[in-house]
Structure 1
Amino acid sequence: MAVIEFINGANKTYGAMKRVIEYITNPAKTETHLVGGHNCDVNNAYHQFVLTKRHYGKETGRQYIHFTQSFAPYDKVTTEDVKEIADKLVQMEAFQGFQIAYAVHTDKDHLHTHFVVNTVNSETGLKWKQSAEQLQMLKDFSDDLCRDKGLIITEGHKGARINRGEYRTKEKGQSWKYELFLAVKESVHSATSKDEFIAYMNKFGYKVDWRDERKYISFTTPEGKKCRNRKLYPPERFTKENLLKTFEMNKQYQDKKILNDRIELLFNVLRLLPDDMNHVYGKYPLTRLEGEALNDRLNELKKGKGLEWDHQHESEL
């Protein structure tokens, strides 16, 4: 899995911007074929950043955004894979027109990519301003790119992004709303259209009322409980507009077979779980399987326990 981390700092001087670009492209930390530039020449990125700022008369304030994408030491991923993931990440719509210098670093026990973004857009002159919703979409897209390389994404409590009360209930294994959240999240990750999303939710046991004339989407749980998309946390992540954008991004950038294989594998996992409805986790199987538990179960199945698995699929997951 990969973790996106934004590095804080005032970054209000050209000197700081020059130093960070020199740092990420330092030959002692990376190699020539592992550096890249989006909307700029990475070898001349500093000067091009400055020219853009001067052209639009925006030389004050924050000069750059610095973030990293880090991979765990146990990830079976090559430097070329990490560079390819970075190349695709900067193609996101959020980065359109922004100049980005980036480089894969190999000097630590884990591979990681540094990205430096010019805060002034070279096409519009507007300054970088991303909402929490857009930053979450960046992290979600990063996860999708990792899945495309066969890396299984696991999310702990921080990744869940639920409110405190819902979190406490989830810890007891009793939250039907958190179970719904997980079903929606898994369906969104794999769907390439509204109809496909609804079909996946139906397979998880949920009814979906998504009509154009209504502002919100309504979900009905297998037990008959109802919930609108605005009640899922964070609500801005699950608006109709954001879901449709995600489906389109999945269609454009993801391998359809890999997306389908992963969610079908999850359905197989759920079918093989003991039918223990007397236990709270029997009612909420996705909650039971979340994180490492799901990871372990997937690995178990990939070894051939309980489900036939061919080498082609194994290389893709």
Structure 2
Amino acid sequence: MAVTKIKPIKSTLSRALDYIQNPDKTEDKILVSSFGCSFETADIEFEYTLSQAMDKGNNLAHHLMQSFEPGEVDYQTAHEIGRRLADEVTKGQCEYVLTTHIDRGHVHNHILFCAVNFVDHHKYNSNKRTYYNIRNISDRLCKESGLSVVVPGKSKGKSYAEYQAEKAGTSWKGKLKIAVDALISQSVDFEDFLRRLQGAGYKIKTGKYISCRAEGQERFTRLKTLGADYTEEAITERISGKRTRTAKAPKVERKGVTLLIDLENSIKAQQSRGYEQWAKIQNLKQAAKTMNFLTEHQIEQYTDLENRIDEITTASEQAADALKGVEKRLTDMTLLIKNIATYQKTKPTYEGYRNAKNKEQYRTAHASNIILHEATAKALKAVGVSGKLPSVPTLQGEYVKLQEQKEALQSDYWKLKKQVKEYGVIKQNIDSILRLSREPERGKEAER
């Protein structure tokens, strides 16, 4: 779990930067990173960007903190999550310094980013909406790294898989199923089974149906709701050896038979056994929608559907990679434009310093501009820019074209992502329909 909070820096910017870069907290500054600036001169570079602000306001920077559950994450992973969080929040348009502190019981990140972006020099608007966006990004990054996420209304974090399962109402049932399956093999009869289940920490409620509740669970769960193998009668038979647990349904494979005909036959079979059983999995309206989709997209075989899903998934991944590539070029270009513009503006001052008779006195009087010029010269050299500098207006024109390309790629990506989801739902519906029609046969096989 990572808890986030953000606060504005209205004064003492250099002091705030010094605090988050404390060598004793950051493994002697090994866990210090920056973007759009050098962390050694971040205060001067922030101030230069702030001097070009288009909006009023007294915020110099924003201090974003991200704290992890004790013992849940190593500092390298925490630092990488912090970098990705900073990149998404600032969108590659604000200088920032990121540090990871490891001096306490829990690893935590500090992200100090400039209140003004260096692209159009507008200020970052910190409010409830932007904070919720930060929290959502942090949760997603934690989920992608296998960490826990913050569950709304709860103080304790849960793993993402556990949160999703509990949200779907399956977490407690899943644990109960595991407990029941394990205890059946140890029990001599149903009463012994209930005693063992109680000993495992479950409260038992008897009546028309047997219900159980684990510690921390709000409501009782009826055993029969776990499936046909978990009714009182089925458990008794499983204990005595007269019944074995129904095997998991095999993967559905369709060859040769037209998929639409196969679906129609399966639905008819469900209706002949009773609509109630069928309605628990899919209703007829959803089935009709599925069949219409197959007709509209000219999908005749199950393998055709799988091939189409593979094609769309591949196209979606390629679009995502292309989009990331354009976003990376946009970020590189914004930094290049910023550094060239700063270099050119500070060049006269720096040349005056080089020609000054009393260099020490001149440097003291013009320290900020000299430091900025040296920092931007170093940054340009790092990306291979030397000699005659590229034209800023030309770069800005290329930036506009890249931005248009990005918007087109985003549109394609979201369309493909929507199709991937749509085809996934259709496949899930088909698998459910075809699998249902075979359940009675599997049940008969299990009883033999």
Q: TM-score, normalised by structure 1?
A: 0.47
Q: Which has the higher contact order (CA 8 A, sep 6+)?
A: 1
Structure with a larger share of its residues in helix: 2
Structure number with greater Rg is 2
